[in-house]
Structure 1
C-alpha cells in the first residue's frame, strides 16, 4: 500500500519542484555558469535559506534536473516495450523516442552530459543524486538490451553480437549524433560541419535507418 504524504511532506516536495523549475529556466536562458543560487531562490519565490535546505549547490540542482529528465525519458522508453512490436521495431522506436526527446529538451541533454562529466570527481562521489542518475541510466540501458534480446529471440535482429555490447554501441552512437547536431547549432563547432546541410529530422531518420539496417537479421 502506498503511503499518503502528509501536508508537510507535500509542501516540501512542491518547494523542491519549484526550485528545479526555476533552475531549468535560468540554466536554459542564462547558462549554468552564469546563473546564481540567489537568482534561483528569487525565481522560485523562496528564501535563500530555504533553497539551501533542499540543495547545497548548483551542481546538486543540475543533477536533480538530470534525474527529472532521465525519469521522463525512461517512462517514454519503457512504454515501447509494452507495445505489440518485434524486437527490431522496438529498437527503432526506442531510438526515435530518445532522439526526439533530446531534440525537444536540449537542457536535459546538457544535464545528462554534465552528470557524466563529474562521475570521476571524488568531491561529488557522496552526492545522493549521482546514484539516482546512475540508476536511471542503468534502467535506460536495460530497455535497449531487452528490446535487442526480444529481436534476437524472434529472429528480427542478428544474434552475432552480445546484446549488452550492442546496446552500448547504439547508446554511444546516439549520443554522438545528437552532440554533433547541437554543435552545428552553436557558433563554435568543427568547420567541416558548415559544408553539410543537415537537420535534426534528417539526422534522426538516417541514423535510425542505418542502425536498423545494420542489426536487421
Structure 2
C-alpha cells in the first residue's frame, strides 16, 4: 500500500470514527444537548480536527440523518421488489416503513426533527428530486451534499409509491379513478403521522385493547380497501 493510499484510508477511518461518535450522541440526546465539544470528547479528537471533516454541527447532524434515510430506502426497495401486484407493493412499502419505525425509532425521531422548522434548508424542498440530481456544486455551492442526498432519497420514496399506485391501476388491483400522485402524498403523510402518534391517542388505543402492531395492520387494511379495485361480484383475495 502506498503512502498516499494509507493516508486516504486513515482519513476515511477518522471520518467514520467522528460519524460514529456523533451518531451515538444525536441518537441518545436532543439536538441542542449535543455540542461539537461533546463530539470531540466522545471521539477523542480536538474540535479543530473535526472541523477539517465537517463544516459545523448541522452538517454532522445531516450526515446522521442521511444514514437513517439510506437504511429506510433500502428496506423499502427490498420490500416492494418482493410484491407482484401494485396494491401489494403499496402495502409492502408501508409495512417496510412501519418496520423501520419499530427497529430504528431513534432515526425516525431525528428525521422528524430534521423536518421541523428548526433548520433553514438551503434550497426550496419543493424542488423535484430529479432537478436536484442535475444541479452541480457550482450551481449550489452553499448546499451540504448530505442535505441534497437526503432530499433525493425522499424524492425516491415518493416515486416508488407513485409508481406502485400506477402499477396497481394498470394491473387492475387499484381503482382506476385514483390519482397516483395524490395517493402517494396521502399515504406518505399517513406514514409520517403513524411514526409520531400523540400520547393521548396511544392511551385511547390502549384502552380499546389495540396495541401498536394491531393498529398498524388495521390501518393497512383500511387503506387497502380504500384504494382497491372492486370488480362486480368480486372479492379481495389478497389480504395482508
Shorter-normalised TM range: 0.7 to 0.9
Question: Quick one: distance in 1 between partners of 2:41 and 2:205?
Answer: 43
1:117 alignment partner, SS class:
coil
Deviations 1:129-150 (A, max 9, x none): 2211111100111111121111
Give 1:203's match in structure 2, choosing from 193, 206, 215: 215
195 and 208 in structure 1: CA distance in 2 versus 1, 3 angstrom threshold:
closer
Question: Quick one: distance in 1 between partners of 2:212 and 2:16?
Answer: 30
Pairwise CA distance, 1:117: 2.0
Deviations 1:62-103 (A, max 9, x none): 111111111111111112343252111111111110111012
1:179 alignment partner, SS class:
coil
Question: Quick one: distance in 1 between partners of 2:153 and 2:46?
Answer: 31
1:34 corresponds to: 33
Deviations 1:168-202 (A, max 9, x none): 1000011112111xx43xxxxxx454333043312
Matches within 5 A, 1:153-192: 153-180=170-197, 183-184=198-199, 191=200
Going by fraction, where is helix more abundant, 1 or 2? 1
Pairwise CA distance, 1:161: 2.1
Asked whether the equivalents of residues 103 and 200 of structure 1 are also in contact (C-alpha less than 8 Å), the reply is no
1:127 aligns with 2:143: yes
18 and 207 in structure 1: CA distance in 2 versus 1, 3 angstrom threshold:
farther
Deviations 1:5-57 (A, max 9, x none): 94433333332222222122112323221122112122223221221112222
Question: Quick one: distance in 2 between partners of 1:163 and 1:12?
Answer: 45
Decide which moves more: 104-113 or 132-141: 104-113
Normalised by the size of structure 2, how large is the TM-score? 0.76
Normalised by the size of structure 1, how large is the TM-score? 0.84
Larger radius of gyration: 2
Matches within 5 A, 1:71-86: 71-86=70-85
- The gaps in structure 1 that reach 5 residues or longer are 185-190
Pairwise CA distance, 1:118: 4.3
213 and 9 in structure 1: CA distance in 2 versus 1, 3 angstrom threshold:
farther
